Chains A and B, each alone.
Chain A
Amino acid sequence: DSGVTQTPKHLITATGQRVTLRCSPRSGDLSVYWYQQSLDQGLQFLIQYYNGEERAKGNILERFSAQQFPDLHSELNLSSLELGDSALYFCASSVVPTETQYFGPGTRLLVL
């Protein structure tokens, strides 16, 4: 158990819908990261937050947004969902950027 929790574990929804994925980092970790993993794209970095502020953006679509709250948990919002958004979404946390990241179990999203 990494100490990072993600909910829900599985999500099935339809195209055009909006979903919210939630992540609670390890106690004491200020950095939170979101990744998307699909079969054909590998592990894609989406976005990083540090102590409530956005620090880095990766290949995140405009339809996706995220935030980190004062209690350090984070949410990833995916809207206008498309079939191609079906993937595993991982959250990770670390004490500081570039150091060891601890990954959550992931949310498996299926868009039908």
Chain B
Amino acid sequence: SQQGEEDPQALSIQEGENATMNCSYKTSINNLQWYRQNSGRGLVHLILIRSNEREKHSGRLRVTLDTSKKSSSLLITASRAADTASYFCATGEIQGAQKLVFGQGTRLTINP
């Protein structure tokens, strides 16, 4: 079963606006990761935030992690048409098989 649940499932904004996507999870994790997938292509790793971190930045990306609420958010600032893609969160589970569990993704469309 999927652990990460992204919200919203789809988001459409104008170029230049900020885009925010959320991810909720259920079990204890050692890290949370965000990936981007352009249509029909492989997933590309964007950023990893560890369970003892609260916020991380990479270029126009800002990720927050709230382990008490078991949630994370990905903010893309000053969006560009090239940011149009699906975005997935993935949680690194502590227990069990220690694998990444991917959510269903948020489909982001940037309108020019």
Partners in one complex: yes
A residues near B, CB below 8 A?
Answer: 2, 4, 33, 35, 42-43, 45, 48, 55-56, 58, 88, 90, 92, 97-106, 108
Q: A105 touching B44 by the CB < 8 A rule?
A: no
Interface size class of B (residues with CB under 8 A): 20 to 34
- Interface of B: prevailing SS: strand
- A56-B99, A98-B98, A98-B100 known; A43+B42 contact, CB < 8 A: no
Q: B42 touching A103 by the CB < 8 A rule?
A: yes
Q: A101 touching B45 by the CB < 8 A rule?
A: yes
- Interface of A: prevailing SS: strand
A103 to B90, CA, bound (A): 13
B residues near A, CB below 8 A?
Answer: 2, 30-31, 33, 35, 40-45, 48, 88, 90, 92-93, 96-102, 104-105
